[in-house]
Structure 1
């Protein structure tokens, strides 16, 4: 068995770099740690932190292929973020023009959650902690 310490980061490839950069930094509140343009790949790599913890690498590539990302497709189902109050944070998404599903209750934990999507349709979740 491997001896893993923690999840180091999540890598996301976006189709519109500037739109996704604004979404993750200005809407979701991630802080930009470092932005690198990789000339040979004609691509950006944006390192994002949350509460001083390195979390997301946002990549751009010329003409990335589409990927099925509906929650029931094989592969990564969604990326969830813990929040104090789902109602408050969901309303902030709506105020920013982002569609969020109605709040549901987790049948197992009794916690509130909702789903929304990033600019490329990647399923994201707010989960009340």
Structure 2
């Protein structure tokens, strides 16, 4: 394997390195992903338990049929508002966004930021 020059390494870094752009701490994702996947299933189990509890006791065919119809009718509201994972953004996009934000807030000069953005775009591989 041939050694890469520092310029190639930086271009690869801009293209392949990723940053969390979801807006929360990247460490919290370890817990939040599991929690967000768990919640709809828990809501479904809770709803099913409530429906089946109404059909317990002396067997009445109508109550059993109504309970079965309710179970098949609709999933919980969590299934309609499905949670999806977001992929992390490439480093080049994150750096460009930060440079534009600095200009918008008046922290940086527009010409200097535009020059930096152009250098980032030239270094990116695959664009």
Select the structure of larger CA radius of gyration.
2
Q: TM-score range by the shorter chain?
A: under 0.3
TM-score (normalised: structure 1) = 0.17
- Structure ranking higher in helix proportion: 2
Higher relative contact order (CA 8 A, sep 6+): 2
Task: Say which structure is richer in strand.
Answer: 1
